[in-house]
Structure 1
Amino acid sequence: MKKPVLFKPADFAFDGTICICPSGKTLHRKGQHCVTDRGYRSIRFRGAEEDCVPCTLRDRCLRTPEKTKTRQVAFFQGKAEGHETHTDRMKHKIDSAAGKAMITRRFATVEPVFGNLRYNKRLDRFTLRSKSKVDVQWKLWCMMHNIEKLGHHGYGM
Protein backbone atom coordinates (compact mmCIF):
# COMPACT_ATOMS: atom_id res chain seq x y z
CA MET A 1 0.00 0.00 0.00
CA LYS A 2 1.31 3.43 -0.97
CA LYS A 3 1.91 5.94 1.83
CA PRO A 4 -0.24 9.09 1.68
CA VAL A 5 1.42 12.37 0.72
CA LEU A 6 2.33 14.26 3.89
CA PHE A 7 1.31 17.84 4.61
CA LYS A 8 4.08 20.42 4.20
CA PRO A 9 4.40 23.69 6.15
CA ALA A 10 2.82 25.48 3.15
CA ASP A 11 -0.39 23.49 3.79
CA PHE A 12 -0.75 25.15 7.22
CA ALA A 13 -2.38 28.60 7.47
CA PHE A 14 0.15 30.98 9.03
CA ASP A 15 -0.38 34.75 9.34
CA GLY A 16 2.77 35.59 11.32
CA THR A 17 1.40 34.86 14.79
CA ILE A 18 -1.22 32.07 14.53
CA CYS A 19 -0.91 28.69 12.82
CA ILE A 20 -3.92 26.61 11.80
CA CYS A 21 -3.53 23.00 10.66
CA PRO A 22 -5.32 21.54 7.59
CA SER A 23 -8.09 20.13 9.82
CA GLY A 24 -8.83 23.64 11.18
CA LYS A 25 -7.24 23.30 14.65
CA THR A 26 -5.03 26.03 16.12
CA LEU A 27 -1.45 25.05 16.91
CA HIS A 28 0.30 26.51 19.95
CA ARG A 29 3.49 28.50 19.69
CA LYS A 30 6.47 26.50 20.93
CA GLY A 31 9.31 29.01 20.82
CA GLN A 32 9.82 32.77 20.69
CA HIS A 33 13.20 33.38 19.10
CA CYS A 34 14.32 30.03 17.75
CA VAL A 35 17.63 30.10 15.90
CA THR A 36 18.97 27.00 14.15
CA ASP A 37 22.64 26.04 14.35
CA ARG A 38 23.09 27.49 10.83
CA GLY A 39 21.77 30.88 11.93
CA TYR A 40 18.19 30.88 10.60
CA ARG A 41 15.35 32.34 12.67
CA SER A 42 12.16 30.33 12.92
CA ILE A 43 8.76 30.33 14.60
CA ARG A 44 7.73 26.90 15.85
CA PHE A 45 4.28 25.53 16.57
CA ARG A 46 2.95 22.33 18.11
CA GLY A 47 -0.51 20.78 18.03
CA ALA A 48 -2.41 19.99 21.20
CA GLU A 49 -2.61 16.31 22.10
CA GLU A 50 -6.42 16.45 22.49
CA ASP A 51 -6.66 17.78 18.91
CA CYS A 52 -4.02 15.62 17.19
CA VAL A 53 -4.69 12.16 18.67
CA PRO A 54 -8.32 11.79 17.45
CA CYS A 55 -7.72 13.69 14.15
CA THR A 56 -8.75 11.93 10.93
CA LEU A 57 -5.82 13.47 9.00
CA ARG A 58 -3.10 11.94 11.23
CA ASP A 59 -1.83 9.69 8.43
CA ARG A 60 -1.19 12.70 6.19
CA CYS A 61 0.13 14.90 8.97
CA LEU A 62 2.68 12.66 10.74
CA ARG A 63 5.44 10.44 9.35
CA THR A 64 4.97 7.85 12.08
CA PRO A 65 1.47 8.35 13.57
CA GLU A 66 1.81 5.21 15.70
CA LYS A 67 4.80 6.73 17.57
CA THR A 68 4.24 10.51 17.38
CA LYS A 69 1.39 12.12 19.32
CA THR A 70 1.35 15.68 17.94
CA ARG A 71 2.46 17.55 14.83
CA GLN A 72 5.19 20.17 14.98
CA VAL A 73 5.78 22.72 12.25
CA ALA A 74 8.37 25.49 11.81
CA PHE A 75 8.26 28.59 9.62
CA PHE A 76 11.67 30.04 8.76
CA GLN A 77 12.07 33.81 8.81
CA GLY A 78 15.53 34.21 7.24
CA LYS A 79 19.00 34.71 8.70
CA ALA A 80 19.30 35.93 12.26
CA GLU A 81 21.11 39.23 12.70
CA GLY A 82 24.47 38.97 14.43
CA HIS A 83 24.34 35.17 14.69
CA GLU A 84 27.63 33.42 14.04
CA THR A 85 27.94 29.79 13.03
CA HIS A 86 30.45 27.49 14.71
CA THR A 87 32.65 27.78 11.59
CA ASP A 88 32.61 31.60 11.76
CA ARG A 89 33.57 31.55 15.45
CA MET A 90 36.43 29.14 14.74
CA LYS A 91 37.70 31.33 11.87
CA HIS A 92 37.81 34.35 14.21
CA LYS A 93 39.56 32.29 16.89
CA ILE A 94 42.24 30.99 14.51
CA ASP A 95 42.83 34.41 12.94
CA SER A 96 43.53 36.02 16.32
CA ALA A 97 47.08 36.31 17.70
CA ALA A 98 46.41 33.62 20.31
CA GLY A 99 44.95 31.34 17.64
CA LYS A 100 47.97 31.73 15.37
CA ALA A 101 50.26 30.87 18.29
CA MET A 102 48.14 27.79 19.05
CA ILE A 103 48.32 26.58 15.42
CA THR A 104 52.10 27.12 15.37
CA ARG A 105 52.50 25.01 18.52
CA ARG A 106 50.32 22.28 17.00
CA PHE A 107 52.84 21.60 14.27
CA ALA A 108 55.52 20.91 16.87
CA THR A 109 53.42 18.27 18.60
CA VAL A 110 53.05 14.59 17.80
CA GLU A 111 50.22 15.11 15.30
CA PRO A 112 52.55 14.94 12.27
CA VAL A 113 53.85 11.59 13.53
CA PHE A 114 50.35 10.09 13.54
CA GLY A 115 49.64 11.60 10.12
CA ASN A 116 52.85 10.14 8.68
CA LEU A 117 52.20 6.69 10.12
CA ARG A 118 48.57 6.60 9.06
CA TYR A 119 48.66 8.11 5.58
CA ASN A 120 52.23 7.76 4.32
CA LYS A 121 53.00 4.38 5.90
CA ARG A 122 49.37 3.15 5.62
CA LEU A 123 49.11 1.99 9.22
CA ASP A 124 45.32 1.99 9.24
CA ARG A 125 44.98 -0.97 11.62
CA PHE A 126 47.08 -3.41 13.53
CA THR A 127 47.51 -6.86 12.01
CA LEU A 128 48.26 -8.63 15.29
CA ARG A 129 45.94 -9.33 18.23
CA SER A 130 46.59 -9.04 21.97
CA LYS A 131 47.86 -6.03 23.83
CA SER A 132 51.51 -7.15 23.99
CA LYS A 133 51.70 -7.96 20.25
CA VAL A 134 50.05 -4.66 19.28
CA ASP A 135 52.49 -2.82 21.56
CA VAL A 136 55.44 -4.46 19.78
CA GLN A 137 53.98 -3.63 16.36
CA TRP A 138 53.38 0.00 17.37
CA LYS A 139 56.94 0.37 18.68
CA LEU A 140 58.27 -1.10 15.43
CA TRP A 141 56.34 1.46 13.36
CA CYS A 142 57.57 4.30 15.63
CA MET A 143 61.15 3.07 15.36
CA MET A 144 60.81 3.03 11.57
CA HIS A 145 59.49 6.61 11.68
CA ASN A 146 62.44 7.76 13.82
CA ILE A 147 65.04 6.02 11.62
CA GLU A 148 63.48 7.65 8.56
CA LYS A 149 63.70 11.08 10.25
CA LEU A 150 67.37 10.49 11.05
CA GLY A 151 68.00 9.48 7.43
CA HIS A 152 66.24 12.54 6.00
CA HIS A 153 67.93 15.04 8.30
CA GLY A 154 71.47 13.89 7.68
CA TYR A 155 72.38 11.97 10.82
CA GLY A 156 76.04 10.86 10.74
CA MET A 157 77.14 13.13 7.89
Structure 2
Amino acid sequence: FAIDGCKMPSNAAKEWSGTFKELEEKRKKLRRLIRHHLKEHHERDEAETEAELDRDIRRAKTVLSLDESLNKVNRFLKTNRPRMGRGKRSKEVKSNITDNESAKMTTSKGTIQGYNGVATVDKKHQIIIDAQAFGEGQEHHTLQPVLETVEARFKKLGIANSIYQQGTVITADTGFANEANMKYLHERQINGYVPDNKFRSRDPKFNHQKDKYGKRHQHLPDKGWKDILPASDFQFDPVSLACICPAGNAISYQGTREAENGKIRVHFEGRLLQCRHCPKKHQCMQNPASADHRKGSGRQVSFTLENKRLPNYTDWMKHRVDSPKGKEIYSHRMSVVEPVFGNIGTNKRLNRFSLRGRKKVQGQWQLYCLVHNIEKLANYGQLAA
Protein backbone atom coordinates (compact mmCIF):
# COMPACT_ATOMS: atom_id res chain seq x y z
CA PHE A 1 0.00 0.00 0.00
CA ALA A 2 1.06 3.58 -0.65
CA ILE A 3 -0.22 6.44 1.52
CA ASP A 4 -0.26 10.08 0.44
CA GLY A 5 -2.31 13.25 0.81
CA CYS A 6 -3.86 15.64 -1.70
CA LYS A 7 -4.39 19.18 -0.39
CA MET A 8 -7.35 21.05 -1.88
CA PRO A 9 -9.19 24.29 -1.01
CA SER A 10 -12.65 24.06 0.52
CA ASN A 11 -15.71 26.25 0.93
CA ALA A 12 -14.00 28.50 3.47
CA ALA A 13 -12.82 32.10 3.19
CA LYS A 14 -9.06 32.43 3.66
CA GLU A 15 -9.36 36.09 4.71
CA TRP A 16 -11.39 35.03 7.76
CA SER A 17 -8.46 33.05 9.18
CA GLY A 18 -6.25 34.08 12.07
CA THR A 19 -5.23 33.47 15.64
CA PHE A 20 -7.51 34.76 18.40
CA LYS A 21 -5.22 37.76 18.80
CA GLU A 22 -5.47 38.55 15.07
CA LEU A 23 -9.25 38.10 15.12
CA GLU A 24 -9.47 40.46 18.09
CA GLU A 25 -7.56 43.06 16.06
CA LYS A 26 -9.97 42.47 13.17
CA ARG A 27 -12.90 43.09 15.52
CA LYS A 28 -11.39 46.38 16.71
CA LYS A 29 -10.82 47.47 13.12
CA LEU A 30 -14.44 46.72 12.20
CA ARG A 31 -15.63 48.77 15.17
CA ARG A 32 -13.47 51.71 14.11
CA LEU A 33 -14.85 51.54 10.56
CA ILE A 34 -18.45 51.45 11.81
CA ARG A 35 -17.84 54.48 14.05
CA HIS A 36 -16.20 56.34 11.18
CA HIS A 37 -19.12 55.76 8.75
CA LEU A 38 -21.76 56.55 11.40
CA LYS A 39 -19.99 59.80 12.30
CA GLU A 40 -19.93 60.91 8.64
CA HIS A 41 -23.57 59.88 8.26
CA HIS A 42 -24.67 62.00 11.24
CA GLU A 43 -22.66 65.01 10.06
CA ARG A 44 -24.48 64.98 6.72
CA ASP A 45 -27.93 64.52 8.25
CA GLU A 46 -28.38 68.24 8.96
CA ALA A 47 -27.46 69.48 5.46
CA GLU A 48 -28.81 66.68 3.32
CA THR A 49 -29.52 67.28 -0.35
CA GLU A 50 -30.89 65.09 -3.10
CA ALA A 51 -27.45 64.60 -4.64
CA GLU A 52 -26.11 63.20 -1.38
CA LEU A 53 -29.07 60.88 -0.80
CA ASP A 54 -27.61 58.05 -2.90
CA ARG A 55 -24.26 58.38 -1.15
CA ASP A 56 -25.94 58.12 2.26
CA ILE A 57 -27.82 55.00 1.14
CA ARG A 58 -24.56 53.38 0.08
CA ARG A 59 -22.96 54.37 3.38
CA ALA A 60 -25.87 52.86 5.31
CA LYS A 61 -25.48 49.59 3.41
CA THR A 62 -21.74 49.63 4.20
CA VAL A 63 -22.50 50.09 7.90
CA LEU A 64 -24.95 47.17 7.85
CA SER A 65 -22.38 44.95 6.10
CA LEU A 66 -19.65 45.89 8.60
CA ASP A 67 -22.04 45.32 11.50
CA GLU A 68 -22.85 41.84 10.20
CA SER A 69 -19.16 41.02 9.92
CA LEU A 70 -18.58 42.32 13.45
CA ASN A 71 -21.36 40.12 14.82
CA LYS A 72 -19.84 37.13 13.02
CA VAL A 73 -16.46 37.72 14.69
CA ASN A 74 -18.12 38.30 18.09
CA ARG A 75 -20.08 35.04 17.92
CA PHE A 76 -16.97 33.08 16.93
CA LEU A 77 -14.77 34.49 19.70
CA LYS A 78 -17.46 33.83 22.33
CA THR A 79 -18.27 30.24 21.29
CA ASN A 80 -14.82 28.89 20.33
CA ARG A 81 -11.42 28.37 21.90
CA PRO A 82 -7.96 28.88 20.38
CA ARG A 83 -6.94 26.03 18.11
CA MET A 84 -3.66 24.36 19.06
CA GLY A 85 -1.30 22.65 16.63
CA ARG A 86 0.25 19.20 16.98
CA GLY A 87 3.87 20.00 16.13
CA LYS A 88 6.94 19.64 18.33
CA ARG A 89 5.98 22.85 20.13
CA SER A 90 2.35 23.19 21.09
CA LYS A 91 1.38 26.63 19.82
CA GLU A 92 -1.77 28.26 18.53
CA VAL A 93 -2.59 27.87 14.84
CA LYS A 94 -4.93 29.99 12.78
CA SER A 95 -8.65 29.45 13.27
CA ASN A 96 -11.22 30.11 10.55
CA ILE A 97 -14.59 31.75 11.14
CA THR A 98 -16.40 30.21 8.15
CA ASP A 99 -15.08 26.64 8.70
CA ASN A 100 -12.98 26.17 11.80
CA GLU A 101 -12.24 22.52 10.97
CA SER A 102 -10.33 23.55 7.84
CA ALA A 103 -6.78 24.88 7.90
CA LYS A 104 -4.35 27.06 6.00
CA MET A 105 -2.00 24.84 3.99
CA THR A 106 1.07 25.60 1.92
CA THR A 107 1.02 23.91 -1.49
CA SER A 108 2.96 24.20 -4.74
CA LYS A 109 0.20 26.53 -5.98
CA GLY A 110 0.34 28.84 -2.96
CA THR A 111 -1.42 28.99 0.39
CA ILE A 112 -4.95 27.59 0.48
CA GLN A 113 -7.70 27.24 3.09
CA GLY A 114 -8.93 23.69 2.90
CA TYR A 115 -8.45 20.02 3.73
CA ASN A 116 -5.91 17.30 3.08
CA GLY A 117 -7.49 14.24 1.45
CA VAL A 118 -5.38 11.24 2.49
CA ALA A 119 -5.73 8.02 0.47
CA THR A 120 -4.26 4.54 0.95
CA VAL A 121 -3.84 2.85 -2.44
CA ASP A 122 -3.25 -0.79 -3.33
CA LYS A 123 -0.17 -1.25 -5.53
CA LYS A 124 -1.45 -4.02 -7.81
CA HIS A 125 -4.83 -2.61 -8.89
CA GLN A 126 -4.65 1.03 -7.64
CA ILE A 127 -7.79 0.50 -5.56
CA ILE A 128 -8.26 3.01 -2.74
CA ILE A 129 -8.70 0.97 0.43
CA ASP A 130 -9.02 3.95 2.79
CA ALA A 131 -9.87 7.63 2.30
CA GLN A 132 -9.97 10.28 5.01
CA ALA A 133 -9.93 14.08 5.09
CA PHE A 134 -7.94 16.04 7.66
CA GLY A 135 -8.20 19.75 8.31
CA GLU A 136 -4.54 20.27 9.14
CA GLY A 137 -1.58 21.01 6.91
CA GLN A 138 0.87 18.76 8.77
CA GLU A 139 0.60 15.08 7.80
CA HIS A 140 2.62 13.63 10.71
CA HIS A 141 -0.30 12.79 12.97
CA THR A 142 -2.47 11.34 10.18
CA LEU A 143 -0.40 8.18 9.61
CA GLN A 144 -1.42 6.30 12.76
CA PRO A 145 -5.21 6.77 12.40
CA VAL A 146 -5.00 5.76 8.73
CA LEU A 147 -3.08 2.56 9.53
CA GLU A 148 -5.49 1.69 12.35
CA THR A 149 -8.51 2.23 10.10
CA VAL A 150 -7.04 -0.01 7.38
CA GLU A 151 -6.33 -2.76 9.89
CA ALA A 152 -9.84 -2.53 11.37
CA ARG A 153 -11.44 -2.66 7.89
CA PHE A 154 -9.60 -5.81 6.83
CA LYS A 155 -10.45 -7.44 10.16
CA LYS A 156 -14.13 -6.54 9.81
CA LEU A 157 -14.23 -8.00 6.29
CA GLY A 158 -12.69 -11.22 7.59
CA ILE A 159 -9.66 -11.00 5.31
CA ALA A 160 -7.04 -10.88 8.07
CA ASN A 161 -7.02 -10.25 11.80
CA SER A 162 -3.83 -8.25 11.37
CA ILE A 163 -3.17 -7.28 7.76
CA TYR A 164 0.33 -5.98 8.61
CA GLN A 165 1.47 -9.43 9.74
CA GLN A 166 0.63 -10.93 6.32
CA GLY A 167 3.67 -9.52 4.50
CA THR A 168 2.00 -6.18 3.69
CA VAL A 169 4.39 -3.34 2.82
CA ILE A 170 3.51 0.30 3.56
CA THR A 171 5.15 3.26 1.82
CA ALA A 172 4.54 6.95 2.55
CA ASP A 173 6.30 10.15 1.54
CA THR A 174 8.48 12.39 3.71
CA GLY A 175 5.51 14.41 4.99
CA PHE A 176 4.63 11.51 7.32
CA ALA A 177 8.16 11.14 8.77
CA ASN A 178 8.72 11.92 12.44
CA GLU A 179 10.06 10.09 15.47
CA ALA A 180 6.61 9.15 16.85
CA ASN A 181 5.55 7.48 13.58
CA MET A 182 8.83 5.58 13.29
CA LYS A 183 8.38 4.32 16.86
CA TYR A 184 4.79 3.28 16.06
CA LEU A 185 5.90 1.27 13.00
CA HIS A 186 8.71 -0.40 14.93
CA GLU A 187 6.62 -1.36 17.95
CA ARG A 188 3.71 -2.66 15.84
CA GLN A 189 6.15 -4.53 13.57
CA ILE A 190 4.68 -2.88 10.47
CA ASN A 191 6.80 -3.30 7.35
CA GLY A 192 6.83 0.39 6.46
CA TYR A 193 9.16 2.67 4.50
CA VAL A 194 8.85 6.38 5.34
CA PRO A 195 12.01 8.33 4.38
CA ASP A 196 13.16 11.57 5.95
CA ASN A 197 13.56 14.73 3.88
CA LYS A 198 17.31 14.18 3.37
CA PHE A 199 17.25 10.66 1.97
CA ARG A 200 17.93 11.91 -1.58
CA SER A 201 21.11 13.68 -0.48
CA ARG A 202 22.44 10.39 0.93
CA ASP A 203 21.85 8.55 -2.34
CA PRO A 204 24.96 8.58 -4.61
CA LYS A 205 22.71 8.48 -7.70
CA PHE A 206 21.55 12.04 -6.95
CA ASN A 207 25.01 13.55 -6.35
CA HIS A 208 25.10 15.23 -9.77
CA GLN A 209 21.40 16.06 -9.99
CA LYS A 210 21.97 19.81 -9.54
CA ASP A 211 24.71 19.84 -12.17
CA LYS A 212 22.46 17.99 -14.61
CA TYR A 213 19.23 19.92 -14.12
CA GLY A 214 20.67 23.26 -12.99
CA LYS A 215 20.80 24.98 -9.63
CA ARG A 216 18.18 27.21 -8.10
CA HIS A 217 18.93 30.95 -7.96
CA GLN A 218 22.03 30.61 -10.11
CA HIS A 219 21.54 33.97 -11.87
CA LEU A 220 21.19 36.19 -8.81
CA PRO A 221 23.14 39.49 -8.86
CA ASP A 222 26.45 39.63 -7.01
CA LYS A 223 25.96 41.07 -3.51
CA GLY A 224 29.57 42.13 -3.23
CA TRP A 225 30.61 39.58 -0.61
CA LYS A 226 34.20 38.47 -0.97
CA ASP A 227 35.57 35.00 -0.32
CA ILE A 228 37.29 34.85 3.05
CA LEU A 229 39.05 32.11 4.98
CA PRO A 230 36.36 29.57 5.94
CA ALA A 231 35.75 28.21 9.43
CA SER A 232 37.38 24.93 8.38
CA ASP A 233 40.77 26.74 8.36
CA PHE A 234 40.41 27.36 12.11
CA GLN A 235 41.55 24.69 14.59
CA PHE A 236 38.60 23.98 16.89
CA ASP A 237 38.90 21.82 20.02
CA PRO A 238 35.38 20.74 21.13
CA VAL A 239 36.70 19.27 24.41
CA SER A 240 38.38 22.39 25.81
CA LEU A 241 36.22 24.78 23.70
CA ALA A 242 39.32 26.49 22.30
CA CYS A 243 40.00 27.79 18.80
CA ILE A 244 43.22 28.74 16.96
CA CYS A 245 43.00 31.07 13.95
CA PRO A 246 44.99 30.50 10.70
CA ALA A 247 47.61 32.97 11.94
CA GLY A 248 48.26 30.78 15.00
CA ASN A 249 46.55 33.01 17.60
CA ALA A 250 44.00 31.80 20.15
CA ILE A 251 40.70 33.62 19.76
CA SER A 252 38.19 34.34 22.53
CA TYR A 253 35.34 31.99 23.45
CA GLN A 254 32.02 33.91 23.28
CA GLY A 255 29.59 31.29 24.50
CA THR A 256 27.35 28.45 23.35
CA ARG A 257 23.91 29.04 21.84
CA GLU A 258 21.14 26.87 20.47
CA ALA A 259 20.34 27.55 16.82
CA GLU A 260 16.82 27.55 15.32
CA ASN A 261 17.26 24.00 14.05
CA GLY A 262 17.97 22.79 17.60
CA LYS A 263 21.70 22.25 17.09
CA ILE A 264 24.27 23.68 19.51
CA ARG A 265 26.76 26.20 18.10
CA VAL A 266 29.94 27.46 19.78
CA HIS A 267 30.91 31.06 18.97
CA PHE A 268 34.40 32.62 18.96
CA GLU A 269 35.70 36.10 18.20
CA GLY A 270 39.24 37.26 17.47
CA ARG A 271 40.89 39.64 19.91
CA LEU A 272 40.84 43.20 18.63
CA LEU A 273 44.59 43.92 18.89
CA GLN A 274 45.52 40.60 17.29
CA CYS A 275 43.19 41.09 14.31
CA ARG A 276 44.24 44.75 13.92
CA HIS A 277 47.89 43.89 13.25
CA CYS A 278 47.36 40.45 11.67
CA PRO A 279 48.95 40.03 8.21
CA LYS A 280 46.00 37.87 7.11
CA LYS A 281 43.39 40.45 8.12
CA HIS A 282 42.32 41.23 4.56
CA GLN A 283 41.93 37.53 3.72
CA CYS A 284 40.14 36.64 6.96
CA MET A 285 37.59 39.45 7.49
CA GLN A 286 34.77 40.76 5.34
CA ASN A 287 35.34 44.25 6.76
CA PRO A 288 38.99 44.56 7.87
CA ALA A 289 38.45 48.21 8.88
CA SER A 290 36.23 47.13 11.79
CA ALA A 291 39.36 46.05 13.70
CA ASP A 292 40.97 49.48 13.38
CA HIS A 293 38.90 51.29 16.05
CA ARG A 294 38.08 50.62 19.70
CA LYS A 295 34.39 49.79 19.24
CA GLY A 296 35.03 47.39 16.38
CA SER A 297 35.33 43.62 16.44
CA GLY A 298 37.66 40.90 15.26
CA ARG A 299 36.93 37.87 13.09
CA GLN A 300 33.85 35.94 14.25
CA VAL A 301 33.46 32.20 13.66
CA SER A 302 31.16 29.46 14.99
CA PHE A 303 31.14 25.66 15.03
CA THR A 304 28.39 23.06 15.48
CA LEU A 305 28.74 20.58 18.30
CA GLU A 306 27.90 16.99 17.47
CA ASN A 307 25.17 15.79 19.81
CA LYS A 308 26.25 12.48 21.34
CA ARG A 309 22.99 10.55 21.53
CA LEU A 310 21.80 6.98 21.30
CA PRO A 311 20.34 5.71 18.01
CA ASN A 312 16.62 6.44 17.71
CA TYR A 313 13.76 5.11 15.60
CA THR A 314 14.47 7.64 12.84
CA ASP A 315 17.94 6.16 12.44
CA TRP A 316 16.34 2.71 12.17
CA MET A 317 14.11 3.96 9.32
CA LYS A 318 17.05 5.67 7.58
CA HIS A 319 18.87 2.34 7.51
CA ARG A 320 15.80 0.63 6.01
CA VAL A 321 15.18 3.26 3.34
CA ASP A 322 18.85 3.54 2.34
CA SER A 323 19.20 -0.21 1.85
CA PRO A 324 18.99 -1.62 -1.73
CA LYS A 325 15.71 -3.34 -0.89
CA GLY A 326 14.28 -0.18 0.63
CA LYS A 327 15.20 1.90 -2.43
CA GLU A 328 13.55 -0.65 -4.70
CA ILE A 329 10.34 -0.74 -2.67
CA TYR A 330 10.07 3.02 -2.22
CA SER A 331 10.72 3.71 -5.91
CA HIS A 332 7.21 2.38 -6.69
CA ARG A 333 5.37 4.74 -4.32
CA MET A 334 4.88 7.62 -6.74
CA SER A 335 3.64 5.41 -9.58
CA VAL A 336 1.06 3.88 -7.24
CA VAL A 337 -0.63 6.84 -5.58
CA GLU A 338 0.00 9.88 -7.81
CA PRO A 339 -1.97 8.55 -10.85
CA VAL A 340 -4.95 8.07 -8.52
CA PHE A 341 -4.86 11.73 -7.51
CA GLY A 342 -4.43 12.68 -11.17
CA ASN A 343 -7.54 10.67 -12.11
CA ILE A 344 -9.66 12.18 -9.33
CA GLY A 345 -8.44 15.73 -9.88
CA THR A 346 -8.25 15.87 -13.69
CA ASN A 347 -10.71 13.29 -15.03
CA LYS A 348 -13.26 13.48 -12.21
CA ARG A 349 -12.79 17.28 -11.91
CA LEU A 350 -12.43 17.41 -8.12
CA ASN A 351 -10.17 20.43 -7.72
CA ARG A 352 -11.80 21.80 -4.54
CA PHE A 353 -14.17 20.67 -1.80
CA SER A 354 -17.56 22.39 -2.03
CA LEU A 355 -18.72 21.67 1.54
CA ARG A 356 -17.88 22.83 5.06
CA GLY A 357 -16.97 20.76 8.08
CA ARG A 358 -14.65 17.74 8.23
CA LYS A 359 -17.49 15.19 8.27
CA LYS A 360 -19.09 16.55 5.08
CA VAL A 361 -15.76 17.09 3.32
CA GLN A 362 -14.68 13.54 4.15
CA GLY A 363 -17.96 12.25 2.72
CA GLN A 364 -17.32 14.12 -0.53
CA TRP A 365 -13.74 12.85 -0.68
CA GLN A 366 -14.87 9.25 -0.08
CA LEU A 367 -17.57 9.50 -2.78
CA TYR A 368 -15.02 10.53 -5.40
CA CYS A 369 -12.69 7.74 -4.24
CA LEU A 370 -15.63 5.33 -4.53
CA VAL A 371 -16.23 6.40 -8.14
CA HIS A 372 -12.53 5.82 -8.85
CA ASN A 373 -12.78 2.30 -7.40
CA ILE A 374 -15.94 1.46 -9.36
CA GLU A 375 -14.21 2.50 -12.58
CA LYS A 376 -11.17 0.37 -11.74
CA LEU A 377 -13.30 -2.67 -10.92
CA ALA A 378 -15.40 -2.24 -14.09
CA ASN A 379 -12.34 -2.05 -16.34
CA TYR A 380 -10.29 -4.74 -14.61
CA GLY A 381 -9.49 -7.69 -16.84
CA GLN A 382 -10.78 -6.13 -20.08
CA LEU A 383 -8.57 -6.36 -23.13
CA ALA A 384 -7.91 -3.28 -25.22
CA ALA A 385 -10.10 -3.08 -28.32
**TM-score under structure 1 length normalisation:** 0.44
| Higher RCO (CA < 8 A, seq sep 6+) | 2
**TM-score under structure 2 length normalisation:** 0.19
